[in-house]
């Protein structure tokens, strides 16, 4: 057995041990606004419920281990002490991951991730309409836990309004764990789906995805592709070139035949198959072959 003194190893390695050991962790998909009304949306897996009377949620936006910068979420709740905390289900996990991209301040992650803003009833930050459970919260305290990279900041929130979609309730009016289909964070790129087990979602750390808002409308409004599919497509820095698309079509008889048929739904279905295989580049080549 290894015995480790946390003060004697690098912060990234320590972070890996902590997030690998403590899990699965629920995800707080937190919406906030700054004093100018700019909206920010970001997920945090340092999160849980800490009481029912009063109802308290706590999440922690950590300082960056790379440059010690603070999250826009933290900056916002210090300016406007309100947040919505939206529960993440499997149907939106790819869009949630895309929203974790380090977009510059002022960029609305709702737009980038293709999620819908839903006005809150008692606070300024909007809710995520796609979320099965949405909490409107007042921030009652922000407790810094350190000043160096990797330090957490406890955002202690009191719930002032709860919104629950009726289709996740059982016959007794309680939340059905199978119907809510929650996901939780594990270590590295791994997630856990409560009723299915482990799956992987690459973290968008080293790149700025183009975002769902930059996906052509004919693809974005597809009846075949889901929000998760669009989230994967939006998490690329650039699209394949016209030559790359042409070469791929020429070299892949099955795709060449689909292009000749010209049925958009068939092309979208094939692209979806590539996405299931985590081959986003090929999916894009199929989707753009007719545009």
235 & 147 share domain: no
Of the candidates 166, 200, 234, which is a domain's last residue?
200
Residue 205 lies in a domain: no
Count of domains observed in the chain: 2
Q: What is the pLDDT of residues 126-178, one digit of tens each?
A: 999 999 999 999 999 999 999 998 899 999 999 999 999 999 999 999 999 88
Q: Is residue 167 one of the residues assigned to a domain?
A: yes
Looking at 175, 200, 225, which one is the last position of a domain? 200
Q: Indicate the pairing of strand 183-185 with strand 190-193.
A: antiparallel
Asked if 164 and 278 sit in the same domain, the reply is no
Q: Which of the two residues, 104 and 131, has the higher pLDDT score? A: 131
> Based on the domain organization, do 190 and 240 belong to the same domain?
no
Domain for residue 1, yes or no?
no
Domain final residue pick, 170, 200, 230 = 200
Provide the domain limits for residue 28: 6-200
Distances (CA, A) of 170 to 88, 91, 116, 200: 19, 19, 26, 29
Same domain for 284 and 226: yes
Count CB neighbours of 35 within 10 A. Answer: 8
Preceding amide of 74 cis, omega within 30: no
Task: State pLDDT tens for residues 61-85.
Answer: 999 878 888 899 999 999 999 999 9
Q: Is 222 in the same domain as 192?
A: no
């Amino acid at each position: 057995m290894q015995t480790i003194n946390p003060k004697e190893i690098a912060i990234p390695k320590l972070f890996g041990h902590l997030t690998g050991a403590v899990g699965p962790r629920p995800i707080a998909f937190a919406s906030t606004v700054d004093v100018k009304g700019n909206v920010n949306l970001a997920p945090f897996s340092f999160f849980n419920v800490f009481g029912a009377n009063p109802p308290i949620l706590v999440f922690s936006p950590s300082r960056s281990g790379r440059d010690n910068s603070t999250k826009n979420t933290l900056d916002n709740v210090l300016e406007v002490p309100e947040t919505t905390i939206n529960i993440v289900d499997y149907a939106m996990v790819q869009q949630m991951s895309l929203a974790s991209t380090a977009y510059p301040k002022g960029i609305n992650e709702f737009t980038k991730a293709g999620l819908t803003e839903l006005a809150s009833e008692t606070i300024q930050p909007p809710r995520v309409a796609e979320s099965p459970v949405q909490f409107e919260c007042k921030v009652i305290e922000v407790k810094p836990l350190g000043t160096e990279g990797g330090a957490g900041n406890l955002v202690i929130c009191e719930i002032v309004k709860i919104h629950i979609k009726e289709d996740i309730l059982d016959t007794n009016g309680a939340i059905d764990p199978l119907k809510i289909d929650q996901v939780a964070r594990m270590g590295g790129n791994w997630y856990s789906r409560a009723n299915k087990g482990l799956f992987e979602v690459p973290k968008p750390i080293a790149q700025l995805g183009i975002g769902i808002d930059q996906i052509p409308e004919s693809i974005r409004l597809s009846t075949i592709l889901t929000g998760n599919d669009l989230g994967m497509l939006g998490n690329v820095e650039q699209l394949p070139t016209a030559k790359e698309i042409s070469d791929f079509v020429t070299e892949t008889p099955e795709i060449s035949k689909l292009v000749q048929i010209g049925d958009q739904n068939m092309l979208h279905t094939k692209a979806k198959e590539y996405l299931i295989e985590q081959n986003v580049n090929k999916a894009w080549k199929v989707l753009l072959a007719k545009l």
